[in-house]
Each structure stands twice: as structure tokens, then as C-alpha cells.
Structure 1
Amino acid sequence: MSILLIAGSPSEHSRSAALLDAVAERLAQRQVHFSRLPIRDLSPQALLLADFNHASVRRAIAQVETARAVVVATPVYKAAYSGVLKVFLDLLPQTGLKGKTVLPLATGGSPHHMLALDYALRPVLQSLSARHILPGVYATDAQIPKDEHGKYHVGDEIATRLDDAVNALLTEGLRMPPTAGFAPVPFSQVRCSV
């Protein structure tokens, strides 16, 4: 199984990249194969001109096609997902996410932009025929502060929400067995008293 992590930030070091890195760490701990697609590394000219024949665009679209699940991370600007992400999503075919589970992640300056996940990004993902869009994780700047070395790190509250989101991605989206809780009990072993 393959999960594609799409970085929709125009910056290499950003809070949304920190969210995506935290998801990658959780997938690696569960020994789940994933690959990355930083949109900022694609040819800007090919993206803006919708050059479907450009090698970087073809490779990116192929990565989306072969993934079973997609995690999309974006900063929120003016109550919408990033323009870099929009340009890329516009290049995908109408059924570009067909049969896939998608986990949306976003960061923004304040809690006021939280609904950008549901009112801006989710409709686009649905229009691309995503099979299942999980509840997204939104984090404010204060929830992903810089450490003493100037690197962003995910705070405890967001870390807990990411744990839940990755678990949902694997169990609901990809039908992997849960790692916590009770072991499944066959119906033939169920005993009840009246």
C-alpha cells in the first residue's frame, strides 16, 4: 500500500510541512510505505501553463494515480488553500482521486480560518472523486511554534489529533487493523448470559 504526502506550501520550511513531517513519522513508526510530493519542486512554468507533457507534471500525476491514499497539507491564505496547491489540483483529471482516501491538513494564523478545510479544500477534493475524505486537522501558528533552533515542531494538542487522524487513515481508509484496543473476537466465541 502506498500513501502520498502532498506538500502544498510554497516554502520548504513551513508549519504545514511540519504537520506533514509529523504524519510521515507516524507512518514510519507503523512501517507503512509513503512517498512525498512537494509541489514547490515541480516546474513553475509547467504548472502555470498546465503543461501536461512536462516530465515533472507527468511524474506528479503518476504519483497520485498509484497512491491508495493521499495526505494533503496546505497553509491557509485569505480563507483558502494555497495557490500552489490549487494549480496542481487543477491539473489532475476529474477522477484524479477516485477510490482514494484523503486526509486534509492545514495551518493558519488564527482559528478563524479553520473552516477553510471544509468550505474551500473539501469541495475540490470531492470534485476529484475522492472515495473518503477524513476529518481534517487544522493548526494555528501558536500550535506549531519554532524551537530554539528555529525549526517548527508540532505541539502536544496537535500531536494527539494527528495520532487520531493517522489511525483513522490507516484503519478506516486503508482497512489496516487497529494497533490499540481489544483484539477481534470471533462470533463463535461470544458468550452471553440472560
Structure 2
Amino acid sequence: MSKIIIISGSPNASSRLNGMIQFVQQKLAERNLSPELITVVSLPAEDLVQANFNSPAILAANALVDSADAVVIASPVYKASFTGVLKAYLDLLPQKGLDGKIIAPLFIGGTIAHMLSIDYSLKPVLASMGAKHYVSGVYAVDAQINRTQGADGELHFDLSEDLILRLGDSVGELVRELEIRAK
């Protein structure tokens, strides 16, 4: 069975990005795939800021990435790029830590103006780490996800039909690529 890791670069637990991640997790589960989630903001901040390559938490997260066949990299967009906390973690991965992995980028921003941030900010960094094989990325805008808080206190995310279709297509492409590799 293929192993998929989702790396969330959101510094905010209530981010609409979580709605995208939950949808992707659900679609993968429907195909009997159970991705593991690395929430970068839950890694020790001191280890990230001080680039502690020997941190047990960083080593454990890196081992998950190393064992993955595919990596979904998810981030909100701030100032035309992915988050600093995501960059801090990517800096702690081995130099060729994404070599041979299938990459699926998921970004969300306030406006369509930063749609090319996947291509112009993320992909060059990932390429320096050996990433060569990408499935179609998904860039969403905040307006495509309605965030509500239920009576149970849990956040609920309602995605627009367009976003559901694009995320579904990306997941489908990722699964097909994994199946091709498994043959």
C-alpha cells in the first residue's frame, strides 16, 4: 500500500486550509489510503527556529516524509508565498528529502492574485530538494470555503462545488500516479 504524508504549513488551527486537508483525507480514505498528517506548527517552535536537525520531533517528522511515496504540501499564502513555519520545516528536511516523491500542492489565499505562488515560490524550493513529479496543484481562495462553528464547538468547513471538483481531480490524479508506480 502506498504511503501518503500531508504537511500542513498553517500556523492557525482555524484556517480554511484545514477544510481542504480534511476533504483530501476523506477522499483518500474512500480509496483505502490513510495519509498521515504533519502539522508543522505542532513541532517544537524552538527546534524550528534554531534549525535543530537532531530534535526528536523533527527526526520523527522527517522519517515520515522519508517513508512516503507521496507528499501533499498544504499552506495558506501570505505575502505571495507559503508560510514561514512551513519554510522553517522544509529547511530541516534532508537536501534530497523529496527525491522520488509524488508532490501534490494545496494552497489557499485571500485572493486569486497569488495563484501562481505554487509555481513561483513553492516549486523552486521543492526542486532544490529533489522533487520532480507533481500532480495538479489546487489553489483556492478563502471565499470558496465557508467556515462555521457547530454547537459542539467544532469547526466545520463547507467547500464550494468548484473546489470540491478540483480537489477531487487532484486526489484522483495522485492515486492514479501511485497505482502506476506500484505496478
Fold similarity call, TM over 0.5: yes
Q: Give the secondary structure class of the aligned counterpart of 1:153.
A: strand
Structure 2 unpaired stretches of 5+: none
List per-residue Cα deviations over 1:105-159 (Å, max 9, x = no partner).
0000000011111100111111111130122100001001224635332211100
Q: How many residues align?
A: 177
Residue identity opposite 1:161 in structure 2: R
The aligned counterpart of 1:120 is: 121
List per-residue Cα deviations over 1:78-108 (Å, max 9, x = no partner).
0000011000001111101010000000000
Task: After superposing the two structures, state which structure 1 stretch, 64-73 or 10-19, moved more.
Answer: 10-19
Tell whether 2:49 aligns with 1:48: yes
The aligned counterpart of 2:40 is: 39
The equivalent position to 1:164 in structure 2, one of 146, 169, 176, is: 169
Higher relative contact order (CA 8 A, sep 6+): 2
The aligned counterpart of 1:175 is: 180
Could you tell me the TM-score, scaled by structure 2's length? Answer: 0.92
The aligned counterpart of 1:184 is: none
How many Å separate the matches in 1 of 2:79 and 2:158?
Answer: 24
How many Å separate the matches in 1 of 2:160 and 2:116?
Answer: 20
1:18 Cα offset (Å)? 1.2
1:176 Cα offset (Å)? 7.3
Tell whether 2:160 aligns with 1:130: no
The equivalent position to 1:152 in structure 2, one of 157, 160, 163, is: 157
The aligned counterpart of 1:98 is: 99
Q: Give the secondary structure class of the aligned counterpart of 2:77.
A: strand
The aligned counterpart of 2:140 is: 139
Residues 145 and 101 from structure 1, CA distance in 2 versus in 1: closer, same or farther, beyond 3 angstroms?
same
How many Å separate the matches in 2 of 1:84 and 1:154?
Answer: 25
Identical pairs, percent: 41
How many Å separate the matches in 1 of 2:179 and 2:89?
Answer: 24
Rg comparison, structure with higher value = 1
How many Å separate the matches in 1 of 2:159 and 2:47?
Answer: 33
Give the conservation status (yes or no) of the 8 Å contact 1:101–1:174: no
How many Å separate the matches in 1 of 2:59 and 2:91?
Answer: 14
Could you tell me the TM-score, scaled by structure 1's length? Answer: 0.87
Structure 1 unpaired stretches of 5+: 178-194
How many Å separate the matches in 1 of 2:78 and 2:34?
Answer: 31
The aligned counterpart of 1:182 is: none
Give the conservation status (yes or no) of the 8 Å contact 1:14–1:152: no
1:174 Cα offset (Å)? 4.3
Give the conservation status (yes or no) of the 8 Å contact 1:9–1:40: yes
Residues 157 and 176 from structure 1, CA distance in 2 versus in 1: closer, same or farther, beyond 3 angstroms?
farther
RMSD: 1.5
How many Å separate the matches in 2 of 1:23 and 1:85?
Answer: 19
